[in-house]
């Protein structure tokens, strides 16, 4: 069932990520979709904090993946912005982050990876699809739906 939340500041977006992380289990995958500046990385920073990760979280736009440890379990933060199509994503070797069972994988620009759409039909993992839209300078409309376990 699609749910929608409006956050009114970057701090509220961050706090939403923290709340989500408190209920997270290893193997969870979160796919984020939204334009530049929609708040995706801010949400990921909150998820990291909610997992107990204390290092600074940065967007992995130029490295594709940042792996963070030191919390309840690892956070795998992927950013597909620089990958233009499914073939580029396939050759980047990112499939391992869909099958991992040790932490949480958060994937920015998830709409670029058709494999994530297929997760909506499977029952082997928990997948949260998140659409983020700026409403104003500080407000964000965050719609999400959970699939599988």
Query: Any idea what the CATH number is for the domain that residue 63 is in?
Result: 3.40.50.300
What pLDDT, in 10s, does the model give residues 62-83?
788 999 999 999 999 999 998 8
| 52 domain residue, yes or no | yes
Q: What is the pLDDT of residue 149?
A: 57
The total number of structural domains in the chain stands at: 1
| 2 domain residue, yes or no | no
| 117 domain residue, yes or no | yes
Regarding predicted confidence, which is higher, 94 or 48? 48
Residue 87 pLDDT class (50, 70, 90 cuts): confident
Regarding predicted confidence, which is higher, 92 or 15? 15
| 3 domain residue, yes or no | no
| 28 domain residue, yes or no | yes
| 9 domain residue, yes or no | no
Query: CB under 8 Å to 146, separation ≥6 — which residues?
Result: 126, 127, 128
Average pLDDT over the chain, rounded to an integer: 91
| 123 domain residue, yes or no | yes
> Residue 102 belongs to what domain range?
18-143
H or E stretch at 125: none
Tell me how crowded residue 101 is: count the other CB atoms within 10 A of its CB: 11
Structure pTM?
0.92
Q: What is the pLDDT of residue 124?
A: 67
Regarding predicted confidence, which is higher, 93 or 32? 32
Q: What is the pLDDT of residue 82?
A: 87
| 99 domain residue, yes or no | yes
Residue 66's nearest CA partner among 88, 94, 28 is 94
C-beta of residue 136 within 8 angstroms of C-beta of residue 2: no
């Amino acid at each position: 069932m699609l749910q929608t939340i409006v956050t009114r500041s970057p701090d509220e977006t961050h706090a939403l990520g923290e709340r989500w992380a408190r209920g997270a289990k290893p193997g969870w995958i979160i796919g984020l979709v939204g334009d530049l500046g929609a708040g995706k990385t801010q949400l990921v920073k909150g998820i990291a904090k909610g997992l107990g990760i204390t290092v600074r979280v940065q967007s992995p736009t130029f490295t594709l993946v940042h792996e963070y440890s030191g919390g309840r379990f690892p956070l795998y933060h992927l950013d597909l912005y620089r990958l233009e199509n499914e073939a580029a994503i396939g050759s980047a070797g990112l499939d391992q982050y869909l099958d991992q069972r040790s932490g949480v994988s958060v994937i920015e620009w998830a709409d670029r990876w058709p494999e994530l759409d297929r997760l909506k039909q499977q029952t082997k993992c928990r997948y949260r699809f998140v659409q983020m839209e700026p409403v104003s300078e500080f407000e964000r409309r965050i719609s999400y739906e959970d699939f599988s376990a």
